[in-house]
Amino acid sequence: MIEKPPILMDRLVVAYDDRRVLDGLSLAVPAGSITALLGGNGAGKSTSLSTLLGFLKPLSGRAAICGFAPSENPDAARRRIAYLPENVALYEHLSAIENADYLLTLSGEGKSRQAIGQAFAATGLQEHAWDRRLDGFSKGMRQKVAIAVALLREVPVLLLDEPTSGLDPRATADFNHLLRQVRGRGTAVLMVTHDLLSAADVADHICFLEAGRIVEEVRADGPDRFDVRGLHARFALPGGAGDA
């Protein structure tokens, strides 16, 4: 029996009013792999994530998380997802530790202070900040808290929306190291990003999205993994995937 991929979009069509934003999108992310989805503004990246989260219902085609259609059974699908949005919603009046503890408990996956601290350390959040309220945090520090929470969730699917936004190069490298660990435990990771260098560093597949469908897919190969110059040229073409 062929095992179904944890993340599946099959000939997916999603529209706002009469405008098709996803127009026959097909993409599968196997367990234990990382796929980076790149595209310009309006290409359909955010709509893809919203559909997988069950916020949008397809006109046709199919989206599935571990076999569950998010639009039909959103609770079952979301229980299997850890999601990191670009603009993280955290509680200003709580400390980093308190935010992580509350969010993990809310998801039914409470962790010890030691485990949370280890996750913070792995993201590069300094220990002196763990018990500070978030109202004094920079965007990068908030992102590290959210990354730690997402990575502590022991679920088969991780959805990331511009996860390296606000991170410096060192923090981005640390984050990519964590993603490799997550991949190693069998998680399927879909990362929507504009950060081509980060994608080339960590992804197994890079997919270019244009007008709501995949127009090119590149697989990591060899010691250099990707031809970054070639990908940059492709991504930056006028009218191409990198054009807003």
Do 204 and 218 form a contact (C-beta atoms < 8 A)? no
Q: At what angle do helices 96-106 and 139-152 cross, to 10 degrees?
A: 30
Amino acid identity, position 191: M
- How close are the terminal C-alpha atoms of the chain, in Å? 42
Nearest to 101 by CA among 89, 88, 87, 115: 115
Grouping H, G, I as helix, E, B as strand and the rest as coil, residue 131 is coil
Q: In the chain, what are the domain boundaries?
A: 1-80+157-244, 90-154
Do 34 and 175 touch, CB atoms closer than 8 A? Answer: no
pTM of the model: 0.87
The residues, any chain, with a CB within 8 Å of residue 15's CB and separated by 6 or more, are 21, 59
CB 40 within 8 A of CB 203: no
Q: Is 1-80+157-244 a CATH 1.25.40.10 domain?
A: no
Q: In angstroms, rounded to a whole number, what is the distance separating the alpha carbons of residues 177 and 196?
A: 16
Helix (H, G, I), strand (E, B) or coil at 77: helix
Token digits of residue 70: 């998010």
pLDDT tens track of the chain, all 244 residues?
456 899 999 999 999 888 899 999 999 999 999 999 998 888 899 999 999 999 999 999 999 999 999 999 999 999 999 998 887 789 999 999 999 999 999 888 889 999 999 999 988 889 999 999 999 898 888 888 988 888 888 899 999 998 888 778 888 888 888 888 889 989 999 999 988 888 999 999 999 999 999 999 999 998 888 888 888 887 766 555 543 3
Closest residue by Cα to residue 77 from 180, 7, 171: 7
Q: Which letter does DSSP use for residue 194 in this model?
A: S
